[in-house]
Structure 1
Amino acid sequence: MDWKHYFRFAPRANRLEFACVGAVWQGLGLISLVLQTLVLGNSASLSAGALFSSLLLSLAQLALSILMAWLAFASFSRRLHDMNLSAWWIAGYIIPVTGVSLFFQEKWWLFTLLGLIVWLFLCFKKGSPDENRFGSVTVRGQEKKPLLIVFAVLGLLFAVGQTVYSRCVLMPRALAVTQQMQFK
């Protein structure tokens, strides 16, 4: 398997490839949240060793976040290219959703649900069957429906896991560390 292929923004990505990369991307997101929890746990202590390990964990999380962002933009743009759409449609989705989510933070579940719906739509929407302006048709014979469903469900579970972990573990821990730091 040529992993360099998944980091490019062209030509096109079929549904199975998009679902596979999306499941990996969502899994990396869950790992990133766990790293963030470890950083919070280490930052409560002010010893030099704890601060150094916290710095290393923060750098690992930063590298993982950059990798995830690149993977996401590359796979989304290639999937949109398969449907004969420009990658600028990503900005048309991200900018309004991010802008609105900043003002309606108590409705976090709505934006999570919207993101999952868009991701699942892109997983199951068939691409253009002929050659389009972004290149020739990707190999369609490799798209096996059961495998596509497995990766879509796996990505969905990882995404829900991220949301639950963030709301039930990470946010209470961050609040506890903040309160602990205020009393010192």
Structure 2
Amino acid sequence: MSALNCLSSRCRDVQEGRPRPAPGSRLCGRCGDKLGRDLAELPRLHRDLLYALSAPERSGEKVRATGYPGIPFNDRAARVRGQVVGVLASWAELVVQERGVRPPARDAQALAAFLLRHHDWLGGHEAAGDWADEVAELISACRRVITPQVIRMVPIGACVAPGCPGELNAGAQSTIRCTADPTHVWGPRSWSELRRRLERVSA
């Protein structure tokens, strides 16, 4: 079962001329351990991307408008969130088909937990290198979106609270805050309400 070399294209051991796959695996011990840590971290990063949905993107990339007037939408964060679930689901499907087990729910937490349970089996699979590389790329993609270079505030408009003189700004963690009153805060779950109030103000 063991390959001559660790199959991960990112393997430092291969690059240093010391390719030593672990017994029963097609990955070296270092890559196998890193893959397990990365897989355990992906659900948290997937959740963190939710907070980046309304945050300005890095390097001047565009944030498009949503159906909620004045509320920006980070396309890159949404795209990477979809990639996390899509990639994990494809590997989970491989496990289900080849091992005859029940499939997990299609969400990042359930998929990652399922794949961790089959971590050793996937490490010995002929596609182990692709598996390790794709998970590593997901980690990198998540971190590129989540780690802010500069936190900017995106102006939304006048605060919708009666009599409030403040302005609403969208910033980190997908939260819209008032400049005058710190209790005037709207998270993603409150956007529907905020949208209706913004529409009434602008009518």
**TM-score normalised according to structure 2 size:** 0.35
Question: RCO (CA 8 Å, sep 6+): is it higher in 1 or 2?
Answer: 1
More strand by share: 2
More helix by share: 1
When Rg is computed on C-alpha atoms for both structures, the one with the higher figure is 2
